[in-house]
């Protein structure tokens, strides 16, 4: 077995050349002579040549600054946003900054020096902005102290600008590069204060992403691009029925095919190992396997009735305020509606994959993971090696959306590599990805309100029957009978309602479920914002004015609604067959309002013309990236609302690829405009998820405005909107 | 033996004629800029140029490629140019199109192909030609970058 002695980057370059490829800058930290490579094609952490000022940053002799990013880059722009926060305080030139991943191994060795490395819940900026400002400020103060020592002047007389320390009285200056070594040796008597927002010069600027250049040349390495000498490939044979296991398989039937090396049982199924992925994949399809029966009696068609029935039974109280039952009973008017959403797949563009090389004394894993520190522990468990012997090389993620927070592919690749004693790249097909996903839960949400004389809700009961993610993912059954993700978006509603009850009936089915971009908000905002629209309509009130009355206590919402109304032409007449719909959602410390404008043809074809977004995340690190995340989330939310549905018949997932699980494409993509309504203060809200939840209700409310048809079950592809007069 | 011409280089490969071009590029030649997304011609992540026209490499076998020259994302820059210097790539950088980036090789090659036959494409032509999936929803920026690339190419 080979031991990897060369630094990984050079090692990979060798591997590529040996394979006959054009190794142009691949696999190496190829820094072009003139331009700094702002983000390396291979983002994982390597020993850096410069001087470390703590675990987060390295200053090179040429003044370039390497900033380590502890969160995963999956499209949300974190490789740019987090370095901006450090650089804001450091005082280097932004053009001198480059980014790479912080190492999960080091995080373990050095007692959580990077903190929790998981990326999810739109938490990266929210949880790290102060810490990273302090990292930059501390390094800057040490550079200043080093210069003060060299010149024998008080530090207070020095200034920092553009990667250099200046002494204005004498006009002397010294650059960060030559200062770094002495700065690294300095311990500050006390850490410096950090800037207040009024002092920012970098934070808040619409800077371009550092990783764009390597993503337009094909150089950026995703997990699926890992290549090692002697590497084999694995494709999966997964059970056709949920929960089934392989009872027997006939490896001999495929071992005579070209390149096929072995069939190995792995968690969740069987791995066919070959010298080429294509050969492995073709063989996996014809491998004779006898599977156990699994959940062959499971049909999603029966679930709707079951979830509705659950709402009639006992529901655990997640929140209770006032006396909703009697307030509804005595209210002058009542309104009730049921909203239903199906299972959804994550379908990140890059299918799940993992390359593992398990050796006697170490295991290396190349993967795109949202949880590198947990991946390290999972790899240790799967390989039987101690965590200190595991090396996780996190790659760029070709989309995550929650799916890459649980790396089912990792123990599979480890098992495969262990079995054949070679590095193995295991790749899921798209069919594997859709059918063996852990889905966004199915849900039924019933709203029941008692209305006052002006039609405003006096009392509101919100009941949700929804799959338990805790039970499915962690085997944990919440004793309270509800879990946060089941009721988020309900219990935390901003609308002023004197009497409120949120009830929950957690469900468990053979379909595995997990976190999906915006999690519980994705279905609960659909129910809340549709129902608000229904209440407004019942009161013959304007949907925006109606919301304002329920949000009078929230100046941030009122301001956002003003921005949204103006930008979205709210109230301006539209031709027949067109309509505007409004929805709000607050999640991850960020409020997003959306106005969707749709055209519905007499035949019932829906065209989303434009979506106006107003967002309040308090502060924004980078408004350009913020806008792209709003666009991304709107497309993600609309895709689900229009087409997204996983159905299961006799335990088999009916969808398998993009032909049966369709995606929004260019021709159907609306114009999307983002408008800032920032309230500042102490809020640094998340931006990756919060624009997903309003998309579906804004769209459905717009369809109601255009057609008078109320959509209470998604996806829209199942609704019939044709045949209108 | 299969003979394959990719980015101006000719390779002699001992591969099955029915192997899809995608896997020869990625696994045999190490040209991993061409991506696997669906394997059934739906997503366009695997797009390459054959005689200047976009083609889904997961659908075409090596036998069917024959002697036709193939260009992948790695070979897109003009001869002697830096990686990323093709006008479409420059426009992509100017508009900061990529998010996760996984679909972008395919998107860029689809755009190059479109601009080859429609140097100043209308919105309808963009809609028709750009059928590739972007799960990150970069479509609005792709549209803007195509219009910019058209302007760059006009000079
Ligand atoms: S991988 Fe070829 S079209 Fe999707
Ligand atoms: S940029 Fe992520 S799929 Fe297009």
Q: What is the pLDDT of residue A36?
A: 56
Are A599 and A706 in contact by the 8 Å Cβ rule? The answer is: yes
Separation of CA B95 and ligand 2 centre (Å): 14
Chain B environment of A26 (Cβ under 8 Å): 30, 32
Q: Is A624 on the interface with B (CB under 8 A)?
A: yes
Q: Which of A349, A350, A434, A345 is nearest to A640 (CA)?
A: A345
Please tell me the distance in Å from A210's CA to the nearest CA on chain B: 9
β-bridge mates for residue A608, sequence order = A598
Please tell me the distance in Å from B125's CA to the nearest CA on chain A: 10
Exposure letters A17-55 (e unless 16+ CB within 10 A, then b) = eebebbbbbbbbbbeeeeeebbbbbbbbbbebebbbbeb
**A643 half-sphere exposure, CB direction, 13 A CA radius:** 17
CB-based contact B23 A24, cutoff 8 Å: no
- pTM comes to 0.95
Helix (H) or strand (E) holding B110: helix B104-117
Ligand with smallest separation from the Cα of B36: 1
DSSP string, A457-507: EEEEEEEEEEE-HHHHHH----TTS--HHHHTTTTT--S--SEEEEEEEEE
Domain boundaries, chain A: 36-203, 223-293+352-427, 300-344+439-718
Which residue in A32, A224, A657 is closest to B38 by CB distance? A657
Please give the Cα distance from A81 to A72 (Å, whole number): 12
**Does the beta carbon of B36 lie inside 6 Å of ligand 1?**
yes
Chain B environment of A658 (Cβ under 8 Å): 38, 40, 42-43, 133
Q: Is A66 on the interface with B (CB under 8 A)?
A: no
Q: Which of A665, A656, A660, A211 is nearest to B106 (CA)?
A: A665
- Which residue has the least CA distance to atom 4 on ligand 2? B134
The count of other CB atoms within 10 Å of the CB of residue A72 is: 28
Ligand with smallest separation from the Cα of B110: 1
Please give the Cα distance from A110 to B3 (Å, whole number): 52
CB-based contact B32 A635, cutoff 8 Å: no
Q: Does domain A300-344+439-718 have CATH number 3.60.21.10?
A: no
Spans in chain A with pLDDT lower than 70 = 1-36, 723-725
Q: Which of B104, B88, B97, B89 is nearest to B47 (CA)?
A: B104
Domains of chain B: 2-75 (3.10.20.30), 87-154 (1.10.150.120)
Radius of gyration of chain B (CA): 15
Q: What is the pLDDT of residue A9?
A: 35
pLDDT in tens, B92-147: 999 999 999 999 999 999 999 999 999 999 999 999 999 999 999 999 999 999 99
pLDDT in tens, B35-83: 999 999 999 999 999 999 999 999 999 999 999 999 999 999 988 888 9
Q: What is the pLDDT of residue A5?
A: 33
CATH no. for A223-293+352-427: 3.30.365.10
Separation of CA A272 and ligand 1 centre (Å): 22
Q: Do A36-203 and A223-293+352-427 fold alike per CATH?
A: yes
The count of other CB atoms within 10 Å of the CB of residue A396 is: 29
Separation of CA A311 and ligand 2 centre (Å): 39
**Mutation for A interface: B28, B89, B100, most A CBs within 10 A:** B100
Ligand with smallest separation from the Cα of B138: 2
Token readout for A90 is: 């450091």
DSSP string, A191-203: PPPPPPGGG-SST
Q: Assign domain A36-203 to a CATH class.
A: alpha beta
Are A415 and A361 in contact by the 8 Å Cβ rule? The answer is: no
């Amino acid at each position: 077995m080979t031991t990897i002695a060369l630094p990984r980057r050079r090692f990979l370059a060798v591997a590529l050349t040996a394979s006959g490829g054009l190794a142009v800058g691949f696999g190496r930290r190829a820094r072009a002579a003139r331009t700094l490579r702002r983000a390396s094609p291979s983002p994982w952490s390597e020993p850096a040549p410069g001087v470390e000022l703590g675990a987060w940053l390295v200053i090179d002799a040429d003044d370039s600054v390497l900033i380590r990013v502890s969160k995963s880059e999956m499209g949300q722009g974190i490789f740019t946003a987090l370095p901006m926060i450090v650089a804001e305080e450091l005082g280097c030139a932004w053009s001198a900054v480059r980014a790479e991943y912080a190492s999960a191994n080091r995080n373990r060795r050095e007692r959580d020096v990077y903190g929790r490395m998981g990326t999810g819940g739109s938490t990266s900026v929210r949880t790290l902005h102060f810490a990273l400002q302090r990292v930059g400020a501390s390094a800057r103060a040490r550079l200043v102290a080093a210069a003060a020592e060299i010149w024998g002047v008080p530090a207070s007389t020095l200034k920092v600008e553009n990667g250099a320390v200046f002494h204005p009285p004498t006009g002397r200056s010294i650059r960060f590069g030559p200062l770094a070594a002495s700065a690294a040796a300095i311990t500050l008597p006390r850490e410096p204060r950090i800037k207040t927002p009024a002092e920012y010069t970098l934070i808040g600027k619409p800077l371009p992403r550092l990783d764009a250049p390597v993503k337009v040349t094909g150089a950026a390495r995703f997990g699926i691009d890992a290549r090692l000498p002697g590497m084999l490939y694995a494709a999966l044979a997964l059970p056709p029925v949920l929960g089934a296991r392989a009872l027997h398989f006939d490896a001999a039937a495929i071992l005579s095919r070209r390149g096929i090396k072995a069939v190995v049982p792995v968690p969740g199924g069987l791995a066919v190992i070959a010298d080429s992925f294509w050969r492995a994949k073709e063989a996996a399809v014809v491998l004779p396997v006898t599977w156990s029966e699994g959940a062959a009696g499971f049909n999603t068609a029966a679930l709707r009735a079951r979830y509705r029935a659950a709402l009639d039974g006992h529901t655990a109280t997640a929140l209770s305020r006032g006396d909703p039952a009697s307030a509804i009973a005595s209210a002058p008017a009542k309104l009730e509606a049921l909203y239903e959403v199906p299972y959804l797949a994550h379908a990140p563009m890059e299918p799940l994959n993992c390359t593992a090389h398990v050796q006697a004394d170490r295991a290396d894993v190349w993967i795109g993971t949202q949880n590198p520190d947990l991946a390290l522990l999972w790899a240790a468990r799967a390989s039987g090696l101690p965590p200190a012997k595991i090396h996780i090389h996190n790659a760029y993620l070709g989309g995550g959306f929650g799916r890459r927070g649980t790396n089912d592919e990792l123990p599979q690749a480890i098992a495969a590599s262990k079995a054949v004693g070679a590095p193995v790249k295991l790749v899921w097909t798209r069919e594997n990805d859709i059918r063996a996903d852990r889905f966004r839960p199915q849900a039924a949400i019933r709203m029941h309100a008692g209305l006052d004389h002006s039609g405003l809700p006096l009392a509101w009961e919100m009941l949700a029957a929804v799959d338990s993610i805790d039970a499915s993912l962690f085997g944990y059954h919440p004793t309270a009978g509800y879990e946060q993700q089941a009721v988020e978006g309900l219990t935390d509603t901003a609308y002023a309602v004197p009497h409120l009850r949120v009830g929950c009936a957690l469900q468990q089915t053979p379909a595995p479920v997990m976190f999906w971009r915006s999690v519980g908000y994705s279905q609960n905002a659909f129910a809340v914002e549709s129902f608000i629209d229904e209440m407004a309509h019942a009161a013959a009130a304007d949907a925006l004015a109606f919301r304002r009355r329920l949000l009078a206590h929230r100046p941030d919402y009122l301001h956002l609604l003003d921005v949204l109304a103006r930008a979205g032409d709210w109230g301006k007449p539209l031709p027949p067959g067109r309509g505007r719909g409004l929805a709000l959602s607050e999640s991850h410390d960020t409020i997003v309002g959306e106005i969707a404008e749709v055209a519905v043809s007499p035949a019932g074809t829906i065209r989303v013309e434009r979506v106006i977004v107003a967002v309040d995340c308090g502060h924004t690190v980078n408004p350009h990236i913020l806008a792209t995340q709003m666009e991304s989330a709107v497309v993600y939310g609309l895709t689900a609302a229009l087409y997204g549905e996983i159905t299961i018949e006799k335990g088999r997932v009916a969808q398998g690829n993009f032909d049966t699980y369709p995606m929004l494409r260019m021709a159907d993509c609306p114009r999307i405009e983002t408008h800032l309504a920032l309230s500042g203060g102490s809020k640094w809200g998340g931006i990756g998820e919060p624009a997903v939840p309003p998309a579906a209700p804004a769209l459905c409310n717009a369809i109601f405005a255009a057609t008078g048809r109320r959509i209470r079950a998604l996806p829209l592809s199942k609704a019939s909107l044709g045949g209108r007069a | 033996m299969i003979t394959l011409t990719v980015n101006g280089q000719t390779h002699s490969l001992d591969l099955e004629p029915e192997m899809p071009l995608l896997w020869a590029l990625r696994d045999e030649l190490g040209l991993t800029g061409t991506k696997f997304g669906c394997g059934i011609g739906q997503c366009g992540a695997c797009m390459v140029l054959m005689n200047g026209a976009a083609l889904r490499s997961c659908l075409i076998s090596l036998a069917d490629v024959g002697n036709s020259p193939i260009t992948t994302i790695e070979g897109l820059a003009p001869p002697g140019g830096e990686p990323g210097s093709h006008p479409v790539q420059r426009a992509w950088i100017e508009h900061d199109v990529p998010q996760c980036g996984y679909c972008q090789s395919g998107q860029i090659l689809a755009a190059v192909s479109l601009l080859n036959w429609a140097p100043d494409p209308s919105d309808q032509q963009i809609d028709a030609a750009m059928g590739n999936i972007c799960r990150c929803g970069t479509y609005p920026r792709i549209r803007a970058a195509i219009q910019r690339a058209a302007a760059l190419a006009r000079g």
